[in-house]
Amino acid sequence: MSQLSLAQIKAQLTPGRLKGVKRIIAVASGKGGVGKSTVAANLALALKKQGMQVGLLDADIYGPSQPLMLGVATDQQSEQAGEQGFEPIMAHGLQTMSMGYLVSESTPMVWRGPMASGALQQLLFQTHWQNIDYLIIDMPPGTGDIQLTLAQKVPVDGAVIVTTPQDIALLDAKKAIEMFAKVHVPILGLVENMAIHVCTHCGHQEAIFGEGGGMRMAEAYHTQVLAHIPLTKTLRMEMDQGTPTVMARSDSEEAKIFLALAERCVSTLWQQEKIGEQLPEIVMSED
């Protein structure tokens, strides 16, 4: 299959099944604390930086973190559009939506799974997305009722699984892969976050969470490792300050990793779609 540039792929994208959105990529993990939201925010901004129109949906109803990571003011709320619609909030050029825009940061969402899942579908389907090439969904951690309902109700085109090299994180990441397989969502690949720790003072690198785990799991599930992201203090501080690395240090090594990740996601999704189009249609008859 011939290689296409991101601009060529963008030009050939057709309207998707969600109004105003052409393609949906879910960023998921089997457990919390592996840096999934950091990856989602920087992936979205990397796509934007490479000429795409991008949206970012914070799907973590119980613990939305994208408003903080994107530097959206705590008192800024989404404006209502029509009787039941929401206008996305612009952040660093992204169209974004989060439960954090609708409630205060100290308000707990004490809801059962079906209620939270229903609220999430409202955010997705009632937000007025405008001509988005790629909508990145920052999924909640785990594989429970909310995740399964979301994967079944939302037309997700591909999923990126975030893990760390640590064995316990890899164990949970396997469950996330299996969940998407059950609902027929293609896996684009794995992102191994915190792959190496880089000392702020001397630059010494150490694999404090282990090494090679992401590659072994990718081989076991016949997928690929899309990126190895280092654990650095600067990256963490940038997210806490609402200036993600791709925007704060666009020429840094970390930003280049996220830009390469965006290219691989788009290319892999495009190739999977082309392969799917080439498969013969099976027609059952009574003969």
Domains and CATH numbers, the chain: 6-273 (3.40.50.300)
Task: State residue 71's pLDDT score.
Answer: 95
- For residues 172 and 284, the model is more confident at 172
1 has pLDDT over 50: no
- Average of per-residue pLDDT across 15-38: 92
197 has pLDDT over 80: yes
Using left for φ > 0, alpha for ψ between -120 and 50, and beta otherwise, residue 76 falls in beta
Task: State residue 281's pLDDT score.
Answer: 47
Quick one: angle between helices 113-126 and 145-153, nearest 10? 30
Phi, psi for residue 164 in degrees, rounded to 5: -110, 170
The residues facing 191 across adjacent strands are: 162, 227
- Average of per-residue pLDDT across 46-64: 94
Residue 164 CA to residue 173 CA, distance in Å, equals 9
Taking CB atoms within 8 Å and a gap of at least 24, the contacts of 77-81 are 77/101, 77/102, 78/102, 78/127, 81/128
Highest mean pLDDT among 140-144, 243-247, 279-283: 243-247
Positive or negative torsion for Cα 81, 86, 89, 95: negative
pLDDT tens per residue across span 147-158: 777 777 888 999
187 has pLDDT over 80: yes
Task: State residue 163's pLDDT score.
Answer: 92
271 has pLDDT over 60: yes
**Pick from 171, 97, 179: nearest CA to 132:** 97
User: Considering the chain, what percentage of its residues have pLDDT values greater than 70?
Assistant: 95
Tokens 């954090």 belong to: 100
Weakest-pLDDT range from 52-56, 72-76, 136-140, 279-283: 279-283
245 has pLDDT over 90: yes
260 has pLDDT over 80: yes
pLDDT tens per residue across span 173-184: 998 999 898 888
- 41 falls in which pLDDT band (50, 70, 90)? very high
Tokens 């684009």 belong to: 188
- Average of per-residue pLDDT across 90-99: 96
Task: State residue 284's pLDDT score.
Answer: 43
- For residues 107 and 121, the model is more confident at 121
